[in-house]
Structure 1
Amino acid sequence: MRIDIEDLHVAYAGRTVVAGARLIAADGEITGLVGPNGSGKSTLLRTVYRHLTPHAGRVLLSGTDLRRLAPAQAARHVAALPQERGGDFELSVHEVVAMGRTPYKRAFAGEDATDREIVARALADVGMTHHTGRRFSELSGGERQRVLLARAFAQQPDVLVLDEPTNHLDIRHQVELLALLRAARRTTLVSLHDLNAAASVCDRLHVLHDGRVIASGPPRQVLRPDLLAEVFGVRATVVDHPLTGDPLIAFDHRRPAGGPVPEPGPRDHVPT
């Protein structure tokens, strides 16, 4: 299934946060949202998974307006991993992941063999099989992130909506999570701060700036030095990654775009 966002406007507290956004998350592709803090990425994603109601515009799931679906029906199609995690669950890891089966259950229905198999597979996918009986509240931030991703997998959605899913993960688990998203080949809409991770994992990127989509396309087409300077305020060049061939952004960490040239320090002098 694909997601079409048509002329989306979202405002709250009297301020427009997303202004006329148009973008597509194609069937089976990973579509990334990138942009500086405050550009509207999280607000747009919250609208897709129905946490927010748009002021105008629509979010379509293969042509059907998501707002017209009943909550349980929508949850069978779209699963979300938001940034806000809520309070600590006084539940076991297994119980948290099993919450992903709720859209498929009648009221007060218990867990059956199919549910247990799906939950076990989701936990295995995120490397948390051996933590099934632990309390969610006892886990580290990275472990909680993986459990919540497993809950989204257990929902068996057509579309995954992920808001900064690599937050709190160490580098190994970041790489594993992104590889897992690649292997799943579900329609995925994901926001990422790490532009190199976005360039590596995403089939298409949409760049948000001040609530507007200002560029869209494959990572190599979108992540140009002039756009990085304009949107992110950084000096950078884009080269081929020596291991993967993906676009690799090399940042100038000594000064921002348009900033003054710093005086050379001791490390800048090469001994003769």
Structure 2
Amino acid sequence: MRIDIEDLRVAYSGRTVVAGARLIAAEGEITGLVGPNGSGKSTLLRTVYRHVKPSAGRVLLAGQDIGRMAPAESARHVAALPQERGADFELTVREVVVMGRTPYKRAFAGEDAGDRDIVARALADVGMADQAGRRFTALSGGERQRVLLARAFAQDPDVLVLDEPTNHLDVRHQVELLALLRAQRRTTLVSLHDLNAAAAVCDRLHVLHAGSVIASGPPREVLTPDLMAEAFGVRAAVVDHPLTGDPLIAFDHRTPAGADNSAVPSGSPAH
């Protein structure tokens, strides 16, 4: 399913957080939101999974205004992994993942064979099948992150909305998660702080700055030295990754952002 975000505006206490954003997440593609802290990425994602109601504009899911859908209907189409993880669940790992099946169940209905298969597959996908009986509260931050992602997978959605899904994960599990997202080929809207991860996994990027989308397109077209200077206030070079050929951003960690924000030409070494 395709997502279209049209002229979206969100304001809190009179302060505009998202200012007329327009963007798309094409069917079957991974679409990334990148930008500095406070640029509006999380707020925009919250409008897609209906945690926040926009002040203006709308979110369309396959041409339908998601705000007009019944909550259970939108939950069957869209699953979210927000940054705010909620309370510590006094449940087992498996019980947390089973919660993803809620949009498909009538009140007090139990699991069926289909639910059990979906839950087992979701746990296996995130590498937590052997931890199904553990208490969620006993897990590390990275393990909890993978369980909550499994819950989103168990929801069997058409669209995944993921807000910083690699937070708390070590390098191996970051790589595995991003590879899993690519293999699934669901329509995915994801915010990422790691620009090199975004360049590697995303088909399309939208760059947010001060609540507005200032650049959109394939990573190679969007992630330029000029963009690094404008949006992030850093000096960087963009080269080809020696292993994958993806754009690789090399940041200048020696020059303070305020001292010299001039761009380095693409392909040139950072000084």
Structure 1 length-normalised TM: 0.95
Counterpart Cα distance in 1 of 2:254 and 2:234: 10
Look up the equivalent residue of 1:199 and give its one-letter code. A
Look up the equivalent residue of 1:200 and give its one-letter code. A
Q: Contact 1:79 / 1:161 at 8 angstroms: preserved in 2?
A: yes
Residue 13 of structure 1 deviates from its aligned partner by: 1.7
Give yes or no for the alignment of 1:162 onto 2:162.
yes
Question: Structure 1 residues 221 and 49 mapped into 2: Cα distance closer, same or farther (>3 Å)?
Answer: same
Deviations 1:96-145 (A, max 9, x none): 00000000000000111111110000000000000000000100000000
Deviations 1:3-26 (A, max 9, x none): 000000001121100000000000
Look up the equivalent residue of 2:69 and give its one-letter code. L
Give yes or no for the alignment of 1:184 onto 2:184.
yes
Give the alignment's Cα RMSD to 1 decimal.
1.0
Give yes or no for the alignment of 1:210 onto 2:210.
yes
Match of 2:32 in 1: 32
Counterpart Cα distance in 2 of 1:28 and 1:260: 40
Q: Contact 2:160 / 2:186 at 8 angstroms: preserved in 1?
A: yes
Q: What percent identity do the matched residue pairs reach?
A: 85
Look up the equivalent residue of 1:173 and give its one-letter code. H
Q: Contact 1:233 / 1:256 at 8 angstroms: preserved in 2?
A: no
Structure 1: gaps (5+ residues): 262-272
Counterpart Cα distance in 2 of 1:231 and 1:65: 30
Counterpart Cα distance in 2 of 1:121 and 1:256: 47
Match of 1:100 in 2: 100
Counterpart Cα distance in 2 of 1:173 and 1:259: 36
SS at structure 1 position matched to 2:39 = coil
For 1:1-272, what aligned pairs fall within 5 Å after superposition?
Answer: 1-257=1-257, 259=259
Question: Structure 1 residues 68 and 251 mapped into 2: Cα distance closer, same or farther (>3 Å)?
Answer: same
Look up the equivalent residue of 2:3 and give its one-letter code. I
SS at structure 2 position matched to 1:107 = coil
Counterpart Cα distance in 2 of 1:184 and 1:90: 30
Q: How many residues align?
A: 261
Q: Contact 2:235 / 2:260 at 8 angstroms: preserved in 1?
A: no
Residue 58 of structure 1 deviates from its aligned partner by: 0.4
Look up the equivalent residue of 1:248 and give its one-letter code. L
SS at structure 1 position matched to 2:216 = strand
Q: Contact 1:196 / 1:248 at 8 angstroms: preserved in 2?
A: yes
Look up the equivalent residue of 2:95 and give its one-letter code. E
Residue 257 of structure 1 deviates from its aligned partner by: 4.3
Structure 2: gaps (5+ residues): 262-271
Counterpart Cα distance in 1 of 2:256 and 2:73: 47
Look up the equivalent residue of 1:57 and give its one-letter code. G
Counterpart Cα distance in 2 of 1:257 and 1:79: 37
Counterpart Cα distance in 2 of 1:94 and 1:43: 30
Look up the equivalent residue of 1:33 and give its one-letter code. L
Deviations 1:216-271 (A, max 9, x none): 0000000000110111011000000000000000000001345169xxxxxxxxxx
Match of 1:266 in 2: none
